[in-house]
Amino acid sequence: MRIHSSVGRCCACSGSAARLAESWDINSDFTQFKLNLRKGVQYHSGREFTSDDVLWNFLRVKDPAIGGGIFASYVAPLKSVEAPDKYTVVITANQPYPYVSHILQTMNMLDPATMQQPDGVNNPVGTGPFKFVEFAQGDHLTLAKNPSYWRAGLPYVDQLQMPIFSDPQTMVTSLESGGLEAAVNVALRDAARLHQQDSNYQVVLNKNSGAMYGIIANTTLEPTAQKALRQALQYGIDRQRIAETVLLGLGEPTQLPWFPTSPAYDAATNRTYTFDLDKARSLLQQAGLSNPSIDFNYSSAIAEFGSMAQIIQADVQTAGLTLNLKPTDPPQLAGMQYQVKYPGIAGGTPLFGQAHPGVQFGSPYFGPLNNWTGLKDDQFRALSTTMSTEVDPSRAKQAYAAWNDYVLDQSFTIGIATFLPRIATTSRVHGVHYDLAYILDGTEAWLG
């Protein structure tokens, strides 16, 4: 099956620590977690998966030389990871760690034996339903069925061919011409057209997504180092218009990175910044910013960002702020964001607002340790630590409110609207779905 998957996450090669455990035991204050691993699970190499592999994977992402990114932040609170026997892992945290389930769900287990080979990073070996075959930068990724997958009888598909497209329109054209069976995160207008007008296609939406369209500002460079400019940008975004005209009603205006079911969500706080160009102009003038000009870098593979950027550009121009639109190839943009090397602002899609609020501690958009805005602040780290460790519901509610107020005031990451991940497929495709961790799962996919 040919499926485009250059945008989004796909559960394929590796198995997460959560899926590879039969059961968990958690103590009352969320500081110790015992994982009882499945027996007989094999890596693609044929070697058995054991507790020593879990230990190695946790230690690996803590190594600064590896560049573990958000996972380095996620494992930072851990005091120890131990393997008392072949099928048992005991994780101990320095402080309450109520969002550990998210880490275990998203952290995949790689084979230490192959990863430590000279070219191991380029030939990953996991325990998942599909084995790595080939990756050609900017062109394609190929995966093959794992005949020894621990879930007997799965997967159904023998091979996944994943062409990589930098142009979203070319991707849709390939889907409609028969070159693809599925395309991830197609433009909303194309998704609506295919879903409503052609019975040969179907569109699966992740309606439980806690993701959003957002903007990050490089706080290490002028003029985006100025909070007044970032707040002016907040007032310059007509979120309601964007939700209606760009997202076609399949997205709601948002300023907070939380799904409405999250205990950290607050409807009133989510309306802190109204669309007010006079207020935006006043903030720029008060800060002594005379006709500032900044770049707006965004992914060329997410069509909605181009439309949003044009609307925002036209509006803030009347307030005295010039945005230079810079559609950028996704891998290049990701590198710029990861290293905080982008000038001005950049578009992105913060994730996991549907999970425990504490996961934002390791977020590249909102984490206090390794965020893509370059913000380093002791107050923010303290607020984030409290928010992510408090287990008493009433005190946690207060911690969430304080965190929300700080994030909106500083405006280093700016919410625009909710984002619904989606996959458009031919009517032949069945069994593809999104799990609660936002991951696109093709384990049970089949062609009719």
Q: Using one digit for the tens of pLDDT, what is the confidence trace for 336-357?
A: 999 999 999 999 999 999 999 9
What are the backbone angles phi and psi of residue 272, rounded to the nearest 5°?
A: -60, -45
Q: Which two tokens stand for residue 280?
A: 């935006």
The DSSP result for 253-315, as a single string, is B-SSS--TTSTT--TTGGG-S---HHHHHHHHHHTT--S-EEEEEEETT-HHHHHHHHHHHHH
Tell me the pLDDT tens digit for each residue of 70-126: 788 888 889 999 999 999 999 999 999 999 888 888 888 999 999 999 988 899 999
- Cα–Cα dist 26/70, whole Å: 23
Instruction: Domain of residue 54: give its range.
Output: 21-116
SS3 167: coil
Q: Same structural domain for residues 383 and 432?
A: no
Average pLDDT value for residue range 411-420: 97
Average pLDDT value for residue range 229-234: 98
Establish if 147 belongs to a structural domain: yes
Q: Can you give the pLDDT at residue 106?
A: 84
Establish if 16 belongs to a structural domain: no
- What confidence tier does 385 reach under pLDDT thresholds 50, 70, 90? very high
Nearest to 435 by CA among 41, 12, 68, 150: 12
Asked if pLDDT for residue 312 goes beyond 70, the answer is yes
The last residue of one of the domains, among 66, 83, 116, is 116
- Cα–Cα dist 281/262, whole Å: 34
- Cα–Cα dist 332/305, whole Å: 16
Q: Same structural domain for residues 71 and 182?
A: no
Nearest to 3 by CA among 435, 438, 431: 431
The answer to which of 11-25, 118-132, 170-184 has the lowest mean pLDDT is: 11-25
CA atoms within 13 A of residue 119's CA, in its CB half-sphere: 2
End-to-end C-alpha distance for the chain, whole angstroms = 12
Q: Same structural domain for residues 249 and 353?
A: yes
For 324-357, give one letter per residue: b (16+ CB within 10 A) or e.
eebbbebeebbebbeebebebbbbbbbbbbbbbb
Establish if 292 belongs to a structural domain: yes
- Cα–Cα dist 240/236, whole Å: 12
The answer to which of 76-85, 102-111, 296-305, 417-426 has the lowest mean pLDDT is: 102-111
Number of domains into which the chain is organized = 3
- Cα–Cα dist 21/382, whole Å: 33
CA dihedral (322, 324, 330, 331) in degrees, to 10, reads -100
Under DSSP, the state recorded for 390 is -
Average pLDDT value for residue range 381-399: 96
Establish if 122 belongs to a structural domain: no
CATH for 149: 3.40.190.10
Establish if 89 belongs to a structural domain: yes
Establish if 253 belongs to a structural domain: yes
- Cα–Cα dist 325/297, whole Å: 6
Q: Are 18 and 101 in contact (CB under 8 A)?
A: yes
Q: Same structural domain for residues 194 and 237?
A: no
The DSSP result for 177-197, as a single string, is TTS-SEEET--HHHHHHHHHH
Tell me the pLDDT tens digit for each residue of 196-214: 877 899 999 998 899 999 9
Tell me the pLDDT tens digit for each residue of 248-294: 989 999 999 999 999 999 999 999 999 999 999 999 999 999 999 99
The residue among 13 and 43 whose pLDDT is bigger is: 43
Q: Same structural domain for residues 31 and 107?
A: yes
Establish if 158 belongs to a structural domain: yes
The H or E element spanning position 396 is helix 393-410
- Cα–Cα dist 432/182, whole Å: 10
Q: Can you give the pLDDT at residue 12?
A: 59
Contacts of 162 (CB under 8 A, 6+ apart): 2, 3, 4, 5, 6, 10, 140, 141, 142, 143
- What confidence tier does 8 reach under pLDDT thresholds 50, 70, 90? very low
Average pLDDT, whole number, for the chain?
Answer: 92
CATH for 67: 3.90.76.10
Q: Same structural domain for residues 362 and 442?
A: no
Q: Same structural domain for residues 181 and 274?
A: no
Q: Which two tokens stand for residue 88?
A: 């048992």
Q: Same structural domain for residues 189 and 142?
A: yes
- Cα–Cα dist 375/370, whole Å: 9
Q: Can you give the pLDDT at residue 280?
A: 98
Q: Can you give the pLDDT at residue 6?
A: 36
- Cα–Cα dist 222/241, whole Å: 29
CA 310-364-66 angle, to 5 degrees, is 130
- What confidence tier does 432 reach under pLDDT thresholds 50, 70, 90? very high
Q: Same structural domain for residues 298 and 175?
A: no
CATH for 240: 3.10.105.10
The last residue of one of the domains, among 95, 116, 137, is 116
- Cα–Cα dist 136/139, whole Å: 5
Q: Can you give the pLDDT at residue 168?
A: 86
The β-bridge partners of 144 are: 131, 159
Q: Can you give the pLDDT at residue 14?
A: 62
Tell me the pLDDT tens digit for each residue of 46-76: 999 999 999 999 999 888 888 777 788 888 8
Q: Same structural domain for residues 162 and 268?
A: no
Average pLDDT value for residue range 160-167: 89
Q: Same structural domain for residues 146 and 79?
A: no
Establish if 121 belongs to a structural domain: no
Q: Same structural domain for residues 344 and 443?
A: no
